[in-house]
Structures are given as C-alpha cells and as structure tokens.
Amino acid sequence: MPRASTFVLLNPAAGRGRGARRGREFLSLLERHVGPVDHAVSERPGHEGDLLDRALAEDYRSIVAVGGDGTWSAAADRIVRSARRDVTLGLLPAGTGNDFGKSLGIRYARAEEVVRAMAEGREQVVDVGRVGDRYFLNVVGIGFDIAVIDDAASTPLLKGDLLYRFCALRQLFRFPGIPVALAADDGTTFQRRYLMLVIANGNYFGGSFHIAPRASLDDGMLDAVSIFDAPPLARARLFSLVAKGKHEGAVRVDVRQGRRFTVSVEGVEAIRYEVDGELCTSDGPQLEVEIVPRALRVYAP
C-alpha cells in the first residue's frame, strides 16, 4: 500500500516549461489541502503512460495530472482502459491551451479552489470519446487545427492562448482546405471541402475558441462541428464567430450531435488528426469516433 491515496503526475515540459514552475506550486497546494501525496515526473515522451500504469496497478484512489490537454488526456485514457471505476482524476492546468478544464471551470486563476474540490471529494462523472483504441477527453480535429498545431510548434516566442490565436490568424491565409466525407449515426452525410472538422466532447479548443457551445460532458453525445472552406476574409469572419460561440447557423457551418461519426479524407491512405492537442495518424483511410457515456470520474470545483 502506498503511504498516500493520491498520486500526482507532473509534466515539466507542458506549456513550454510552465509545467515545471507550476508543478512546485501545485504540490504545495495539494499538501496543504489534501495532505501527503506521492508524485512522479514525466521525463520523456511515452513516460507518462508508464507512470500512470504503475500508479493504477497500486491502490491510489486519486490521480492528479499536472499539465495540459495532452497530459490530461493520457491520464484519462489510462484510467478508462484500466476499468478502475474507483479512481478519480484531478486536473491542474500547466499546458498551453488547457481547453478541457474550461468546460469544468478549471483554470489557473482558480487553482486553490480546484485543489479544495479534490480535498472535499467534489466529483463529476463525465463522458469520454473514443477514436480507434484511444480514449480522449475533449476533441478530435481534422484540417485547419492540424496546420495551427504544426505552426505553433515552430513559433517559439509566444505561449498560451495568444500562441494559438496568432497561428490561427496566419493559417487563415495559408491553409488550402481538405476534402472530407463525414457520416453521422443519424444517416446524415457530408462530402465537401472543409476548412475544419471538430468532433467535440467539451466546449473549447485551440486555446479559447468556443467551438461547441451546446456540448455537455454528461449527455452521452458528441458534437460534430463542420466548418466548410471559404476565402480568407470569410474564414476570418467565421473564426470571429467561433471565438464567441456564435457560429452555429452561419453559412458554411453545420453543427450536429451523434453517438458515432465516421470520417474519411479523399486521396489519402491515412488521416492526420489531433486528439486533445496531440498529433496522430490513422491506421487506415477512415476514422471512427464515438462517445463512451459516463466513463470517468473527475474532480470539479
């Protein structure tokens, strides 16, 4: 038996080094409000999974992930895979976007309140998504957001929401669009040239874009947001609406809910997509994205 019931995973590389700075602060807050905790530091790509699997093999009842959407998503994936329904996930923001946390009211400015929620056992049971054999918390994205992630990786001087906004603005004039076929479980199909397709469990993505205003974390549904291609100035207008969550009903936008969506991209044998900010490549020409209702317990303020 471990000496503590809470395991803390620290990703020091999150947020381009923000994880290391905030990690020390968060450990102090946790020890003040929760009591003794065990922690480990992720040292290389893939190490997070090993640390999480080790923690889940022991008797920890709380796993707290300090990082951004990628770290949080890795923790959720491992917990759901383990079938440990007695484990609750805590999220502390130290990444670039921290998008999923915004749907739960988890922000850095509320860090002490978030830790108090952990100490008091305030929980919410949420849905997760599944793409292939990977579980995710927030979104699967195809098209424009891949270009933005690629651009952000080569833009070293900016951080946080400002980084994503800057790269999104630049890609409005550079991204060529992508031919996508989308099939929903209600029989609806689209085969259009897309600017972007986001299949969302949470409300936000890309730093602060309010991509799925009607999405709920416990409704057993995903929200597929289709934004069809447009000239640069029309793209700019669309993204102004997306930032405010007012794009539903706009020309070149379709938003629909479903339990399962099938995606393919014309002319490719494998699809590049992002899962909670992490770049992935499909094993074949199609992606299956589905909801897994009430699969995970999380702490929420």
Secondary structure, 3-state, the chain: CCCCCEEEEECCCHHHHHHHHHHHHHHHHHHHHCCCCEEEECCCCCHHHHHHHHHHHCCCCEEEEEECHHHHHHHHHHHHHHCCCCCEEEEEECCCCCHHHHHCCCCHHHHHHHHHHHHCCCEEEEEEEEECCEEECCEEEEEHHHHHHHHHHCCCCCCHHHHHHHHHHHHCCCCCCEEEEEEECCCCEEEEEEEEEEEECCCCECCCECCCCCCCCCCCCEEEEEEECCCHHHHHHHHHHHHHCCCCCCCCEEEEEECEEEEEECCCCCCEEEECCEEEECCCCEEEEEEEEEEEEEECC
Residue 1 confidence (pLDDT):
40
**How far, in Å, CA of 289 to CA of 183, rounded?**
11
pLDDT, residue 255, reads 96
Compute the distance between CA of residue 143 and CA of residue 195 in angstroms, rounded to an integer: 6
- Give pLDDT tens digits along the chain (301 positions): 445 899 999 998 786 677 788 989 999 999 999 999 999 998 887 889 999 999 999 989 999 999 999 999 999 999 999 999 999 999 999 988 899 999 999 999 999 999 999 999 999 999 999 999 999 999 999 998 888 888 888 787 776 667 777 888 888 888 999 999 999 998 989 999 999 999 999 999 987 789 999 999 999 999 999 999 999 889 989 988 998 999 999 999 999 999 999 999 998 999 999 999 899 999 999 999 999 999 999 999 9
Write b or e for each residue in 202-222: b if 16 or more Cβ atoms lie within 10 A of its Cβ, otherwise e.
bbbbbbbbbbbbebbbeeebb
Predicted local confidence at residue 2, as pLDDT:
47
Contact 178, 143 (CB under 8 A): yes
Q: Residues near 3 by Cβ (< 8 Å), separated by ≥ 6?
A: 36, 38
With 0-12 CB in 10 A as exposed, 13-18 as middle and 19+ as buried, what is 156?
Answer: exposed
Which residue ranges form the domains of the chain, and what is each CATH number?
A: 6-122 (3.40.50.10330), 139-294 (2.60.200.40)
